[in-house]
């Protein structure tokens, strides 16, 4: 009989928890044991759907003897609270992105898991995507030569969806719970850029509302610079109905183009002969289709996240997306917000971990003090 890892879920506030649980039901080495949610109706419904025990007390999940790991999918401003409690209880942790809203909370979380000796992994599905894995393999091979520019578009259409705007998911654009949509979703793109290119040295950005007025922001563009002279352009919007090209990487020896790698470019009918990843090089000056499959929808990428976490627990492996990775992603986002607010280039590292209320709008924006 295959040994089974006991998993607990800390809140269903974030919709990705549903995708994780649905996929884990198909794993023969996982047992979904118990869950907590401060919304009793939502928590009990999820428990019924996935064969778990529901408790209104998070301690019941954290102290359950048959749970080895927990997945933290509560509102972002509560990540630190739940991760610290899980670490104190000796549970391994998969944490939804972004890691936290401040660098201070990121540091508290990292210190807690280090002191407790538990595993901690960030839930970044872009690193689990076959197209991105192949992209990074090609980037690391050097076949593109000296890199001049990477452009990443990572978008969603949720602020055009009345179900998202008016439903229980509306906490995503609450400045206290999630800061802003750029913080929430561009976190994927900052992690992707850091994973592929390393840590940047500076950023310039514009982040604002373009077509909505109920969220702190709906669209942002950030330009990151690197010590070797390369640049990365991050485009993130929560008001993108459809798309196609998601990543472009330009080098002096080759060019790599990726298509259909975010929600607007996957959850719409694909054009004929759609190509996920194609390569052009000086030595082979024609576009090469790298024959990477395109998922049926973006939910397939999201559902692929828990497998790596379970494998760490099952085979006693160190997580490959660490607390330090989570912190860097948050730092890149906070610096972009600061740049947009102050109208100037912001350099790394940031010296302050917090954010402040700005004007009378209630929008929470990061505050970087010398």
Q: Look over the chain and give the mean of its residue pLDDT values, rounded to a whole number.
A: 93
Read off the pLDDT of residues 302-319 as tens digits, 9 standing for 90 and up: 999 999 999 999 999 999
Average pLDDT over residues 326-355: 90
Residue 318's Cβ-count burial label (10 Å; 0-12, 13-18, 19+) is exposed
Q: What percent of the chain has pLDDT over 90?
A: 93
Q: What percent of the chain has pLDDT over 70?
A: 94
| Domain annotation for the chain: domains and CATH numbers | 5-123+301-320 (3.40.50.720), 127-298+330-366 (3.30.360.10)
Read off the pLDDT of residues 174-190 as tens digits, 9 standing for 90 and up: 999 999 999 999 999 99
pLDDT higher than threshold 70 for residue 370: no
The neighbouring-strand residues paired with 326 are: none
Read off the pLDDT of residues 120-172 as tens digits, 9 standing for 90 and up: 999 999 999 999 999 999 999 999 999 999 999 999 999 999 999 999 999 99
DSSP state of 169: G
pLDDT higher than threshold 80 for residue 295: yes
DSSP state of 269: P
Res 360: pLDDT: 28
pLDDT higher than threshold 70 for residue 365: no
CA atoms of 35 and 57, how far apart (whole Å):
9
pLDDT level of residue 325 (50, 70, 90 thresholds): very high
- Give the closest residue to 150 by CA, choosing from 226, 221, 247, 228: 247
Res 2: pLDDT: 60
- Give the closest residue to 37 by CA, choosing from 63, 9, 6: 9
pLDDT higher than threshold 70 for residue 275: yes
236 phi and psi angles, rounded to 5 deg: -135, 130
Res 3: pLDDT: 82
Residue 210's Cβ-count burial label (10 Å; 0-12, 13-18, 19+) is exposed
pLDDT level of residue 283 (50, 70, 90 thresholds): very high
Report strand pairing: 92-96 vs 120-123.
parallel
pLDDT level of residue 351 (50, 70, 90 thresholds): confident
CB 54 within 8 A of CB 44: yes
Q: What predicted TM-score, i.e. pTM, was given to this entire model?
A: 0.94
Average pLDDT over residues 270-299: 95
Q: What is the dihedral of CA 302, 305, 307, 310, to 10 degrees?
A: -140
Count of all residues that appear for the chain in the document: 370
Res 364: pLDDT: 40
pLDDT level of residue 358 (50, 70, 90 thresholds): very low
Read off the pLDDT of residues 220-236 as tens digits, 9 standing for 90 and up: 999 999 999 999 999 99
């Amino acid at each position: 009989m295959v040994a089974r890892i006991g998993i607990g879920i800390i809140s269903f506030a974030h919709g990705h928890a549903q995708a994780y649980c649905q996929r884990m039901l198909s794993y023969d080495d996982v047992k979904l044991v118990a869950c907590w949610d401060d919304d009793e109706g939502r928590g009990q419904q999820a428990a019924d759907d996935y064969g778990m025990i529901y408790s209104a007390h998070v301690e019941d999940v954290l102290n359950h003897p048959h749970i080895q790991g927990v997945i933290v999918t509560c509102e972002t401003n509560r990540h630190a609270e739940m991760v610290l409690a899980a670490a104190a209880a000796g549970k391994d942790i998969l944490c939804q992105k972004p890691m936290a809203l401040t660098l201070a909370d990121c540091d508290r979380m990292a210190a807690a898991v280090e002191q407790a000796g538990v595993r901690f992994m960030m839930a970044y599905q872009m690193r689990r995507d076959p197209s991105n894995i192949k992209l990074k393999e090609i980037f690391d091979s050097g076949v593109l030569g000296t890199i001049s520019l990477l452009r990443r578009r990572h978008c969603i259409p949720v602020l055009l969806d009345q179900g998202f705007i008016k439903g229980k998911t509306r906490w995503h654009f609450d400045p206290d719970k999630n800061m802003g949509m750029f913080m929430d979703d561009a976190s994927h793109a900052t992690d992707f850029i850091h994973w592929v290119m390393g840590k940047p040295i500076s950023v310039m950005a514009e982040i604002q509302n373009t077509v909505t007025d109920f969220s702190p922001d709906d669209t942002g563009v950030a330009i990151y610079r690197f010590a070797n002279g390369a640049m990365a352009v991050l485009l993130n919007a929560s008001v993108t109905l459809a798309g196609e090209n998601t990543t472009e990487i330009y080098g002096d020896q080759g060019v790599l183009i990726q298509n259909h790698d975010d929600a607007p470019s996957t959850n719409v009918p694909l054009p004929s002969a759609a190509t996920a990843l194609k390569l052009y090089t000086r030595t082979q000056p024609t576009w090469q289709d790298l024959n990477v499959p395109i998922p049926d929808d973006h939910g397939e990428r999201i559902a692929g996240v828990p497998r790596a976490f379970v494998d760490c627990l099952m085979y006693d492996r160190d997580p490959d997306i660490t607390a330090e990775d989570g912190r860097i992603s948050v730092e890149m986002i906070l610096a972009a917000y600061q740049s947009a607010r102050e109208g100037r280039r912001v350099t790394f590292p940031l010296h302050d971990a917090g954010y402040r209320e700005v004007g009378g709008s209630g929008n929470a924006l990061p505050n970087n003090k010398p």
